[in-house]
């Protein structure tokens, strides 16, 4: 899947806000605020359930990585997530 198409599909789901469970939250991390080289997808099946997470990393920007963005779209589809949330910005990875 084209990286721009994948990003648009993710953004569309994020804009819908919280619609219930299952819920998927995307968090971006990097060595600086300008470059996110890791994304963590946290899946919660229902309220109070233990979260499951999957990490993806890249030497470049994960937001521009076609493989990673396509994988995130597939995770959203396969988990049938009703809510897709995204933590805004990039958090600095601890050293």
Record the pTM.
0.92
Domain that holds residue 35: 3-92
Predicted local confidence at residue 4, as pLDDT: 95
Read off the CATH number of the domain in which 16 is found: 3.30.720
Number of domains in the chain: 1
Buried residues in 26-64 as b, exposed as e (16+ CB within 10 A) = bbbbbeeeebbbbbbbbbbeeeeeeeeeeebebeeebbe
pLDDT digits 0-9 by tens, 57-73? 999 999 999 999 999 99
pLDDT digits (tens, 9 = 90+) for 3-23: 999 999 999 999 999 999 999
């Amino acid at each position: 899947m084209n990286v721009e198409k994948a990003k648009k599909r993710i953004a569309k789901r994020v804009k819908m806000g919280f619609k219930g469970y299952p819920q998927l939250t995307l968090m971006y991390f990097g060595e600086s605020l300008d470059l996110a080289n890791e994304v963590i997808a946290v899946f919660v099946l229902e309220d109070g359930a233990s979260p499951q997470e999957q990490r993806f990393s890249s030497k470049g920007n994960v937001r521009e990585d076609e493989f990673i963005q396509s994988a995130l779209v597939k995770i959203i589809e396969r988990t049938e997530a009703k809510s897709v949330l995204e933590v805004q910005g990039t958090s600095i990875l601890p050293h």
